[in-house]
A and B are shown apart, each in its own frame.
Chain A
Amino acid sequence: MKTKKEELDYVLAFTEIYQSESDIYLREAKCLQWQTPQILVPLEKDDLVAGRMQHRFVGFSPQYGGLYTYFFHEDKVEEALSGLKGELSEEYVTKMKEITAFWEEEKTLNRLNKRFHEMGYSIGAGYHEPGISNSEGRLAGTTVDLDKLITLGLDGLKAEICAKAKENQQAKNFYQALLMTVDTIADACNYYEKQAQTLYALTKKESLFKMAEALHSIQTRAPQSFLEGIQLLWVYAMISDLMNYGRMDVALGDLYVKDIDVKGIDEESVIAILESVYRHMLRVHKIHDSRVIIGGKGRRNEQNADRFAMTIMETSRRVKEVVPQLTLRYYTGMDEAVFDKALAVNAEGCTYPIIYSDDTNIPAVMQVYGVSEKEAERYLPFGCGEYVLEGASVGTPNNGVNLLKALEITLHNGYDPYWKKQLGLKTGEPDSFKDFEDLWKAYQRQLRPSVEKPAIHKRLNYDVAAEQAGYLQISLLMDDCISRGKGILNGGVRYENASSEVFGMISAADSLTAIKKLVFDEKRYTLKELVEVLDSNFEGREDVRQELLVAPKYGNDDDYADEIACRVFKNIADLTIEAGKMVGLNHYNMVSVNNSMSAEWGDICMASACGRKAGAPMANANSASIGADKNGITALLNSMSKFDNNVHVGVINNVRFTKELFASSYEKVKAVLRTFYENGGVQTNIGVVGRDDLENAMKTPEKYQNLLVRIGGFSARFVELSPIIQNEILLRTTYGS
């Protein structure tokens, strides 16, 4: 723990460095050079791989959640100042006040918000605020080419930078800054090398000796062993706030195989090293990120990568933690043993690996991003499930769109009955819609501005960041930055993409389906009557709710409901694409994922025509409304396969099986999943739970500490979730025999 005074001194020094340099690249490199050794957290004797960090009151972060580029925590500075009242000189206090005022103007998030407001816009920053959509400032999810880092090593990277610098004199500041950044990485290795030596002297633990050796070696030459490889990867990732770790099987597969086959190192010691890295990831605790990808097409070293993938899966099986979000890319013809292992790990209730289908996704990514097959093979889901192209694109999601809220506002002529405010356009009273198409048009009109506004915000999010920073740590390992001599957001990255998170898709679709069926087809109620019933939260009209519940629902392979779901899906996808074009992003696409917002945004939605009560969770990502999938797992998967995969950059399909089914009918479960992946299925989050486990866990949580569940875009310990989300999970359909 640093003292308050130490923290304030740090702020002072960081600010002086920032203010002393005007070139954005050199300034960032200098800031990183100062910041990096100061955010490192000392080694612990049981670490097998070194690397922990803790951000301070001020700093630079490429993509740590909530810390957007240059950040400054005025609240913490304020608190430290008042805590030290009387102990600081007047001059010092005045200086700190000046610094606070400086960062008030200078910190990236404030610059972004100011610019956005100057353009006449405002948008909710948090989620629990009025509106159909929201936005926040950040860069997130960029997945760099870690294979290049391991293959070239730090010296190799420097050689490449120097060679390019000779050709491109105009960008000399950028190259110089990159070289400084490489040195900063080496310095971090050196910091831990010294610590490992000291701790070794004290403890004589052999692992510390080996660690020191590895840390020494990687400061210059490319890694020669698995330990060196993973150590370099981790130090780089940790100081760069890299929250997603890409195709680790490719980057480290060759070193792994060499260690096992040539050096005779045993599997167990590799697992022990991986477990140490898993502990670091757990401490970072970015449960919505921390993707590790294995498998898939387009790997240069498929056999070696597969062998290492087996070991990674075994580690996840043993560790049973919420991170890393281990993700396997499936493809027809892949090694059967790898697929079997993936299902075996899932069968133990690990929720991992999440399985993605290359058969479905590579052709879709070619379409959606307009890239070659070779480039599409580099698609990687990060975070809750958004795609980026490894080393070739950014794809930050920093906004959400609540489709159920859009429908709710449409049904109230632009008025939000929860916040009791006119929030949208006046698109017509319920009794003015003469048919379903009229209602649909109003819904579309209501939605469009709520999609465009975040796109404008997104454009600014990149532009404002680019004015201040080159994102050197990230640019270092992105394909075109070195050859172009530019930072990722300054024209360096090949594809400047972004994504928009969509929530309440299925709740909105099922609501529209029920309205179409009961109001417009069967004329059982007028829309006005129905809206009144919804506004009263079905008070005294449970019969209406029951009728709504038995109306066709997505998830049953029922074309009536699925066609509307596909229409809602395609519509928001197209609106997002159009908004992206409008603001000049390469590609701006929607994702239907979940980060628990389906529950939290459900909280501020009135009762809906899908039969959902006011405040109840919305359906999660592309999963069925809670308990509405009643026609068997194949019907659910068929519904999930109907969406147009050429218009989105990630969806989440939660499917849950009983342990009994997985054990007694393994081959059939496997056939079902395989068939889904080979016939248009994007991915599955597989949950495997015992029939009574969830209920028992709510009663006696202390006995179920290890019960992992998939929320949609992340995994969590069931017993640590809020009761609202626990209930949502409890009520989801579990497929048995």
Chain B
Amino acid sequence: MAAEGIVFDIQKFCVHDGPGIRTAVFLKGCMMNCIWCHNPESIRRNPELAFESQKCISCQACAAACKQGVHHFDAAGNHEVNFEKCAACQACIHVCPTRCLKIFGEKMNAHAVIKEVLKDQKYFKSSGGGVTFTGGEPTVQYDFLLEMMKVAKENNLHVCLETNGIIFSEKLSHLMSYTDLFLIDYKATGEIHKILTGVEESFVRQTIDSIHKAGGKMILRCPIVEGLNDSEEHFAQIRKFKSQYSSILNVEIMAYHASGLHKWESLGIDYSLKKMASATPEMKKYWEAKIAE
């Protein structure tokens, strides 16, 4: 059992990630590659460097501090970052006067994570909240996740697991015993699922079915991006899930938001939805009506 794992954020007072007031634990690593991902810093498993070019003043202190040769400056002072070479040692972070460099991901112990979560236990109690494990895809760090869940349960925490549904059945059955509520992402219907996420839809369907059969409870979370996965077929399938599975307590539409754009840039990854605007509130309402039909 891995008592340690890579966490890239612990957020307090989350009001949209399960019932009540919750603390969300974000684990690094994801096997999907959703083209709209708004947490691209969560995709890779290991800690990684991020660089916000607009904050850089070309002082070159980072280049002097870095032993791996990650930072280069051309004659005009343009800062080029070779992300591949970075060992996430943080040497550059300490000398940067503008905080344009940052490391995503920190090794943490399961007990330390839950200790941090428990600081808000009184708020969980008064609101019916608890902890939500999310990511990335938290099950990528399965052993670490399971360990945290056990400790959470020993402390009587309500546990939500947000997952993209790519879970082997054996692991799922273990996770079931510590999970009060699954937040399952259902991202597209049919062939397009693989194009948009890199993974077959059937895995997700299987997980939904398994959770249902094993008596688990779910909230279905559906990211919708205009022109990509807002098909009639997809909405019809969501409606079908709702009527088919009594274990689905609710379906939430997660309308596309462009807030992830700058993160892609800072990580040095090309983002295919550069020009996509956030969905309007009206659009979100329209989609919500679609699944309520």
Contacts and interface: CB of A to CB of B under 8 A. Distances in A.
B96 A543 contact: yes
B126 A735 contact: no
Contacts of A667: 127
B119 A671 contact: no
Given A542-B98, A547-B94, A632 B126 contact: no
Given A632-B13, A668-B20, A672-B21, A543 B120 contact: no
Contacts of B20: 668, 671
A53 interface: no
Interface in B97-139: 97-99, 119-120, 122-123, 125-127, 129
B61 interface: yes
B11 interface: yes
A479 interface: no
Given A635-B120, A672-B21, A672-B123, 13 more contacts: A543-B61, A543-B95, A632-B13, A634-B13, A634-B119, A634-B123, A635-B12, A635-B13, A635-B119, A661-B15, A664-B15, A675-B126, A675-B127
Given A633-B12, A634-B13, A737-B16, A546 B97 contact: yes
Contacts of B15: 661, 664-665, 668, 737
Contacts of B96: 543, 546
A671 B127 contact: yes
A545 B98 CA distance: 9
Contacts of B125: 675
A542 B123 contact: no
Interface residues of A, number: 26
Interface string B1-24: 000000000011111100011000
Interface in A342-383: none
B21 A634 contact: yes
A632 B12 CA distance: 5
A690 to B, nearest CB: 15
A190 interface: no
A638 interface: yes
A500 to B, nearest CB: 32
Nearest to A538: B97
A672 B97 contact: no
Contacts of B129: 668
B134 to A, nearest CB: 15
A640 to B, nearest CB: 13
Contacts of A631: 12
Contacts of A557: 12, 119
B126 A671 contact: yes
A279 interface: no
A664 B281 CA distance: 14
A679 interface: yes
Contacts of A678: 126
Interface of B: 11-16, 20-21, 61, 94-99, 119-120, 122-123, 125-127, 129
A448 interface: no
Interface in A543-600: 543, 545-547, 550, 557
Contacts of A737: 14-16
B127 A632 contact: no
Interface string A166-189: 000000000000000000000000
Nearest to B10: A631
A546 B62 CA distance: 14
Contacts of A672: 13, 21, 123, 127
Nearest to B116: A557
A679 B12 contact: no
Nearest to B19: A668
A735 to B, nearest CB: 7
A557 B12 CA distance: 11
Contact of B123 (A550, A664, A671, A735): A671
Contact of B97 (A543, A632, A638, A679): A543
27 contacts: A542-B98, A543-B97, A546-B96, A546-B97, A546-B99, A550-B99, A557-B12, A631-B12, A632-B11, A633-B12, A634-B119, A635-B119, A668-B21, A668-B127, A668-B129, A671-B21, A671-B127, A672-B13, A672-B21, A674-B126, A675-B123, A678-B126, A679-B122, A735-B13, A737-B14, A737-B15, A737-B16
Nearest to A632: B12
Nearest to A667: B127
Complex A-B, nearest 8 residue pairs according to Cβ-Cβ distance, in ascending order? A632-B12, A542-B97, A671-B127, A632-B13, A543-B97, A665-B15, A675-B126, A634-B12
Contacts of B61: 543
Nearest to B97: A542
B46 to A, nearest CB: 22
A664 B15 CA distance: 9
A632 B129 CA distance: 15
Interface in A661-683: 661, 664-665, 667-668, 671-672, 674-675, 678-679
A543 B96 CA distance: 6
B52 to A, nearest CB: 13
A63 B95 CA distance: 55
